[in-house]
């Protein structure tokens, strides 16, 4: 590692602080801001469309508890229940934040396709005595309500829509976008893969965030242990790559189950994996020490490795944030990163001090 790289890695704190938008996911903890029974841990969860996420549970009395979340800046967000997947004749629950900052949730009957035919406080949905709730938390709005049915709800046509225009006197403007889906409330496949997410995070942190930095530290600061430093460096880096690769495989499996909208995290993960593969290839193509191209190989190998470590640290911190992993993960990785940065700072200072003394020493005869 050089001073230039040390400067880059120290800017990580600034990069992390820029990643504080609370992106909702099925792993988010609702107990901190939603009232009971909408904050129960047994809610099934499934991403639906765009940023829309549907959480639900159904009891033996055919009461369906629903929490719908979506990214929100203004306007309204709604979910409709339809017999045929069409708007006309369906009933919808619509939530929004009024101009005075007050939260609203109302039932609407969609008698026609024009705004004047969307009637507030009418519809065929039977609510319970549990008061519905609308909460704006972070960049997301949450609509929570209960519906009573005469029989268990299984396959149901659902409508999802939103508009950026805030309703005036509960009058809804035309939606900006909409979709219709057939949803199976009885399916057992919507349970959230918590363990797979933990495995993904643990493998990536241990591989990219612990082993690879240790291997790089050994390569730069332990050259006096020749050739032991080289074997330790190779073994640790290969182990780090294997753990990181396993974490990537777990991440792919997690994405196939959730289809979460985490494009930046996925893109950085792919980029880091490519850099890791290039480092492995570079090891097998390493020229001899007396080769004319060895210095170019050294330059390539060192800077690709530094780039990998830098983006791995950023992506781990970003993944902990968007995955809503909790404070224990943030504190744990923060301690790990702090220890590594302090070790690099101390060792780099000692190395430059040694070089300075050697440069200032008088020639020997």
Q: Which two tokens stand for residue 356?
A: 């300075």
For residue 20, say whether it is annotated as part of any ligand binding site. no
Mean pLDDT of 198-211: 95
Neighbours of 61 (CB within 10 A): 9
> φ and ψ at 57, to 5 degrees?
-150, 155
- Name which of 193, 209, 200 is nearest 332 in CA terms: 209
**Would you state the pLDDT for residue 357?**
75
Mean pLDDT of 110-120: 89
Q: Exposure string (b/e) for 224-235, b if CB count within 10 Å is 16 or more?
A: eeeeebeebbee
**Would you state the pLDDT for residue 345?**
93
* Least confident stretch, 166-175, 179-188, 300-309: 179-188
Mean pLDDT of 179-189: 79
- Name which of 334, 250, 245, 340 is nearest 17 in CA terms: 334
For residue 301, say whether it is annotated as part of any ligand binding site. yes
Alpha-carbon distance of 210 to 133, in angstroms, equals 43
Q: Which helix (H) or strand (E) holds 180?
A: strand 177-184
Residues 9 and 309: beta-carbon distance below 8 Å:
yes
Neighbours of 215 (CB within 10 A): 21
For residue 200, say whether it is annotated as part of any ligand binding site. yes
- Residues 6+ positions from 88 with CB-CB distance below 8 Å: 110, 111, 112, 113
- The model's pTM: 0.55
- Name which of 36, 48, 39, 69 is nearest 184 in CA terms: 48
For residue 233, say whether it is annotated as part of any ligand binding site. yes
Task: Give the SS3 label for residue 335.
Answer: helix
Alpha-carbon distance of 212 to 245, in angstroms, equals 12
**Would you state the pLDDT for residue 313?**
96
pLDDT tier for residue 365 given thresholds of 50, 70 and 90:
very low
* Least confident stretch, 8-17, 31-40, 57-66: 8-17
pLDDT at 213 exceeding the cut of 90 = yes
The rounded Cα 96 to chain-centroid distance in angstroms is 25
Q: Taking all residues of the chain, what is their mean pLDDT, rounded to a whole number?
A: 86
Mean pLDDT of 243-254: 94
Q: Going from the N-terminus, what domains does the chain have, and what CATH number goes with each?
A: 3-22+193-359 (1.20.120.1770), 30-184 (2.60.40.1210)
Q: What is the DSSP string of 226-288?
A: TTHHHHHHHHHHHHHHHHHHHHHHHHHHHHHHH----HHHHHHHHHHHHHHHHHHHHHHTPPP
């Amino acid at each position: 590692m050089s001073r230039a790289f040390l400067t880059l890695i120290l800017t990580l704190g600034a990069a992390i602080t820029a990643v504080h938008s609370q992106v909702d996911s099925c792993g988010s903890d609702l107990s901190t801001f939603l009232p009971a029974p909408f904050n129960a841990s047994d809610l099934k969860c499934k991403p639906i469309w765009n940023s829309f996420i549907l959480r639900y549970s159904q009891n033996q009395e055919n009461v369906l508890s629903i929490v719908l979340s979506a990214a929100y800046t203004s306007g309204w967000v709604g979910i409709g229940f339809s017999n045929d997947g069409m708007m006309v004749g369906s009933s919808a629950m619509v939530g929004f934040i009024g101009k005075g900052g007050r939260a609203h949730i109302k039932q609407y009957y969609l008698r026609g396709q024009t705004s004047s035919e969307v009637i507030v406080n009418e519809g065929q949905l039977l609510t319970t005595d549990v008061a519905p709730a609308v909460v704006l938390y972070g960049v997301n709005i949450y609509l929570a309500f209960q519906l009573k049915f005469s029989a268990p709800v299984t396959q149901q046509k659902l409508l999802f829509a939103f508009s950026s225009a805030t309703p005036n006197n509960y009058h809804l403007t035309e939606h900006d976008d909409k979709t219709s889906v057939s949803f199976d409330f009885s399916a057992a496949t919507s349970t959230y893969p918590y363990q797979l997410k933990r495995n993904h995070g643990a493998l990536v942190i241990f591989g990219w965030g612990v082993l690879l930095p240790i291997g790089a530290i050994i390569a730069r600061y332990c050259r006096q242990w020749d050739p032991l430093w080289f074997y330790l460096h190779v073994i640790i880096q290969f182990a780090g790559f294997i753990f990181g690769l396993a974490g990537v495989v777990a991440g792919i499996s997690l994405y196939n189950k959730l289809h979460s909208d985490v494009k930046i995290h996925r893109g950085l993960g792919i980029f880091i994996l490519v850099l890791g593969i290039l480092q492995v290839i570079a090891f097998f193509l390493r020229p001899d020490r007396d080769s004319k191209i060895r210095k170019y190989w050294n330059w390539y190998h060192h800077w690709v490795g530094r780039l990998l470590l830098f983006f791995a640290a950023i992506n781990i911190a970003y993944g902990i944030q968007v995955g809503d992993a909790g404070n224990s993960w943030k504190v744990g990785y923060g301690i790990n990163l702090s220890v590594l940065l302090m070790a690099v700072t101390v060792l780099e200072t000692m190395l430059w001090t040694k070089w300075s003394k050697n440069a200032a020493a008088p020639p020997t005869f």
